[in-house]
Structures are given as structure tokens and as C-alpha cells.
Amino acid sequence: MYLAVVEEIKKTIVSGHLSPGDMLKSESEMMKEYGVSRMTLRKSLSLLSNQGYIYSVPGKGNFVKKPDTDIYQFRFNRYDNLLSKVDRIKLLAVTVNTASKDVTDNLLLQENGRVVRVERLVYSDEQAVALEIVNTQYIPNTPVVEDRINFANYANDLDKKLAFGKETFGLTKELTIKVVRADEDICTKLSIAPGEDVFEISEKIMKQDDYSPLTYSLFYIRKEYFMLTAKTPEEDASKKIF
């Protein structure tokens, strides 16, 4: 029933009777028009709001929203997004050392702060296709960190658990993708020609409440082995909303 009302309202919007910025009829009017109770109507309205069709201003009314069609969504995971199957991950090194400027800035460390640095090489088709560097602030005697060092040869899910325990909720992540000229170290490890370009994907994991950084990772990928596909968010929200 509330879904039917949603469709009705969508029609009046899309069919052009209403344009962005226009006000919808008041809720009491719409209750009569569609023959539903207030709560039911409001359920419809909030669904429309979630789908980006409308927004409401307390004391004034509900308005048609200009749709934001420039938002995209994608799924990314360091090991699952390469263009060919990962068949081996090799642990290169686990070190505790002074952070570089880049790492210091991103992890908001003190000057000369120390970090745990885990370096891994990702193989596909017997070839090294990606180099992964995970930096975590080093806090001596923290079980999490010590564990992280001990088990650093395991990757992926286990990695996350070790780093954050049960804190899988309440995290925000930020990803930056660009193309950079590979430095000597990367060229050697990925066995590519000097001066070649590679993808650089940096991933920063932060706490959601105060944005304090937990890890800062760099992922260098041979450019033929990565591409990204993103889509406009689904409208399927309908099923999730209530």
C-alpha cells in the first residue's frame, strides 16, 4: 500500500507536474488524496526521501529534489579486484621503523613516530603483479600490534581482525587511486621496466567517530592488472528501508 503511494507520487513528479524545488501537497491533503493514514503516507515519503526524490523542511513542506546523478558506488578489496586471480601472497618484510613524511602525515604521528610496516607481494600467473605496504602506528606491548607482527604472513580477513579486533563496526575508509611513475624499489619488486607507470591505491582506515587513523596502506599494481567499475547506487533501498 505504501509502495503504491510511492509510485503515485513518483508519477506526479516524473510526469513533469512537479519540477525540482516545487513543493508537494501537504501531508494532510495527500492523506485524503491517497486514502491512507498519516503514518503510512509518511512511510512513503521517507522512502522517496531515501531514494533521493524529495526532501522535507520542517514547518514548510516536502519538496522535489534535484537528483544527484554524479554519485557512484563500487566494491574494492585489495585482493579481489585485480583483473586476474591472486594465487599467492608472499610476505616480504615486517619491520618497525621511523615513519616517512607521507606516513606520518596520514597517521597523524608525532615527529619521528614509529610504525609497523608490513610488506607483501601479490602473485598472479606466477608473476608479481602488486606490492602492498601496510603501515600501522607502533605502540609497544599492544597485543594487537604484536599479534599483527606475528601473524603478518596471513592476509585479508585475518589481517583486519588482528588490527581491529571486534571493531569491524564504526570504521571509515578512504581510498585514493592514481597513476604514478614507479620508483626503483617498485620496479625491481614487480619486475617492470624502469620509469613505467603503475596504479597507486592508498587506503586509509579511520575510526568513524573521531576520524583518528588506524592504518595507512599503499598498494602498487601493474597497470594492466587493474580497472575499476562503479555504478550509480541502486534504488533497491525500498527493501532495506523498512
Partner DNA sequence: GAGTGGTCTAGACCACGAT
Partner DNA sequence: TCGTGGTCTAGACCACTCT
Interface residues with a copy of itself (CB under 8 A) are: 10, 13-14, 16, 19, 39, 42, 46, 49-50, 53, 66-67, 69-77, 160, 166-179, 197, 199, 208, 223, 226-233, 235, 237, 240-242
Contact stretch for DNA (CB under 7 A) within 40-48, 80-88, 161-169, 201-209: 40-48
Among all chains, which residue has been given the C-alpha cell 485524503? 32
Contact 198, 180 (CB under 8 A): yes
What's the CA gap between 153 and 93, in Å, rounded? Answer: 9
82 DSSP 8-state letter: B
Q: Residue 37 or residue 191: which is nearer to DNA going by CB?
A: 37
Q: Label the pairing between strands 171-181 and 197-207.
A: antiparallel
Shortest distance in whole angstroms from residue 146 CB to a copy of itself: 21
120 DSSP 8-state letter: E
Contact 50, 241 (CB under 8 A): yes
What's the CA gap between 182 and 196, in Å, rounded? Answer: 6
Query: Residues 37, 150, 191, 232: which binds DNA (CB under 7 A)?
Result: 37
Query: Residues 26, 168, 176, 188: which binds DNA (CB under 7 A)?
Result: 26
Helix (H) / strand (E) containing 128: strand 127-137
Contact stretch for DNA (CB under 7 A) within 7-15, 33-41, 82-90, 131-139: 33-41
Q: Is 195 in the site for DNA (CB under 7 A)?
A: no
Partner interacting with residue 110 (select from a copy of itself, DNA, none; CB below 5-8 Å by kind): none
Phi, psi values for residue 105, rounded to 5°: -60, -45
Partner interacting with residue 29 (select from DNA, a copy of itself, none; CB below 5-8 Å by kind): DNA
Q: In the complex, which residues of this chain contact DNA (CB under 7 A)?
A: 1-2, 24, 26-29, 35-40, 42-43, 45, 56-62, 242
